[in-house]
Chains A and B, each alone.
Chain A
């Protein structure tokens, strides 16, 4: 039953020599072998690499050295992080055979913490999508109902954590890609403040929005993982030169006197009543802990989706120009000439959603449309951020639903991409403003999980983890495991 233990319990167990890292890693590898056939949450299972790392971690523990909280603990990495000598595909045909010659900073940091990389997880191609249906390696299922999507783009990570195929996993969040799948799969996930975690070696989608973060059952687990991931990196000039606090030291603080804003725009029509009701229950739990709630307004948040679907694709069209079939990645067979090498390699290598976003971005940046779309979207982005600044003059945190609906049936949205885009309505504002956002489970309806979102001021991760942890000390939603995966 090792898979029911939290990261802290696993750390204590390893330290007390109740079990070894090799046994723990073996346990999770067995679970992946047994359960992932139906889920497809992993693209690569790095068994040999993991067991070798576990052996090293066991030596460190045996020597009785001071060990970090993640020493000997297996973590799954989203297949967007470059891993030296291990295939990194971003779930695209264009990178299907790509093996990076270097490690992303996030990967390096986990290695420095002597954590075990158990495998690389499934995702929407280039992190574009909200259902994991855009993966070149096939869709991934939601462990709570195999006929439903796990969300996306970090769907593989969310599915693997929910089924306890790993105690924690990394994700990335450009418009909700950590929080939405966390919500759909009943786990916790945090997108930290833009710049809190280095983006070096994280395959780029929209560079002004992309941010890595941890996904795990509880807020306490997230605090431990975020501690390992956060910090300034000379390889990423947008990483913040701000000291990383000791997150665990904050999580047990009292919530008495904390003021939380409820944006009226997040509770209007379009929000599923069952989700609304579970959020209201969670608010009651927090009220009992001394939290005060006030209604606030984020009037321009309704413009966030179209704003994001201009800025994101503009940055993507530029970032993805590097995939030209010349230096690395997929190259078309028998190109007629140099132009056909570019155009055919890209047409054959990218999936439909990626093509859609490249086209939209190219259009919005093209001559004659730049002011009307890109520049206007940047101005609206600023106005959206100012709404948050104003709100945070009155409140410590903002609370609302993570998603307007539950995890939907596989295939339900594939024919209507715009409808899928609108599902990001509550998560996108935090990305546009560069603010931290997190999702924690707050209940179920028809056996499908419901997530609640907290949004904080820049670098307010300690306060968010604190509130989420105290909530989880008073509820047990985060400990629920889909029946099939309990043993």
Chain B
């Protein structure tokens, strides 16, 4: 398994696929990066092939490692979220104190 996983010749993902994943990941990657990441990506997928042989069809899916139940609390505001959020915003260089919004480039293009 390890040899296959480490064989850079075994690419199992196409250029289109890696570009699609980069788009979904919101990462603007240049051609060199795409090539490098494609190779690494392929090798990682080869590593995952070891899981294919394992039959877990009858296993119930579980998303937590601990079964400890957590106590519930009353639905009351415990923290002053507004002040906290304001403090967070105030430390951001992109927060516009006049408008109370974060500045980003215009979404609607102007001439």
- Which residues of A are in contact with B by a Cβ distance under 8 Å? 99-102, 193-195, 208, 234, 237-238, 240-242, 300, 302-303, 305-307, 309-310, 317, 321, 324, 326-328, 331, 335-344, 346-347, 350, 352, 355-356, 358-360, 362-363, 366, 373, 375-383, 385, 416-419, 421-422, 432-434, 458
Contact = CB atoms under 8 A, between A and B. Distances in A.
Contact of B37 (A307, A344, A359, A385): A359
5 contacts: A242-B68, A346-B25, A382-B59, A382-B61, A418-B47
A422 B2 contact: yes
B77 interface: no
A416 B65 CA distance: 30
A375 B54 contact: no
A388 B85 CA distance: 42
Interface centre among B2, B40, B84 (most CB of A within 10 A): B40
B50 A355 contact: no
A344 B28 contact: yes
Contacts of B54: 300, 303, 376, 380, 383
B15 interface: no
Contact of A458 (B28, B33, B66): B66
B88 interface: yes
Given A359-B18, A422-B2, A347 B27 contact: yes
B100 interface: no
Interface centre among B24, B48, B65, B104 (most CB of A within 10 A): B65
Given A306-B48, A331-B94, A434 B59 contact: no
A208 B65 contact: yes
B65 A346 contact: no
B91 A305 contact: no
Contact of B27 (A337, A338, A346, A379): A346
B99 interface: no
A234 B22 contact: no
B56 A355 contact: no
B31 interface: no
Interface string B77-103: 010000010011111101100000010
Nearest to B18: A359
Contacts of A434: 65-66
Contacts of B43: 416-418
Interface of A is mostly: helix
Q: Return the 4 tightest CB-CB contacts between A and B, nearest first.
A: A434-B65, A343-B28, A379-B56, A347-B28
B87 A359 contact: no
A346 B68 CA distance: 37
B70 A421 contact: no
A240 B70 CA distance: 7
Contacts of A360: 41, 44
A377 B48 CA distance: 9
A335 B40 CA distance: 29
B65 A337 contact: no
Contact of B29 (A309, A355, A432): A355
A326 B104 contact: yes
Contacts of B21: 359, 362-363, 366
Nearest to B22: A359
A309 B47 contact: yes
Contacts of B95: 327
A210 to B, nearest CB: 12
Nearest to B69: A241
A200 B66 CA distance: 18
B91 A359 contact: no
A350 to B, nearest CB: 7
A195 B33 contact: no
B66 A417 contact: no
A276 B65 CA distance: 30
Given A356-B41, A383-B56, 5 more contacts: A101-B90, A195-B68, A305-B47, A360-B41, A421-B47
A97 to B, nearest CB: 8
Given A326-B104, A327-B94, A382-B59, A306 B51 contact: yes
Contacts of A317: 25
Contacts of B62: 378-379, 381-382
A350 B84 CA distance: 27
B34 to A, nearest CB: 10
A337 B51 contact: no
A417 B44 CA distance: 8
A321 B65 CA distance: 24
Nearest to B109: A337
A237 B70 contact: yes
A321 B109 CA distance: 25
Contact of A337 (B40, B68, B90, B105): B105
Contacts of A341: 104-105
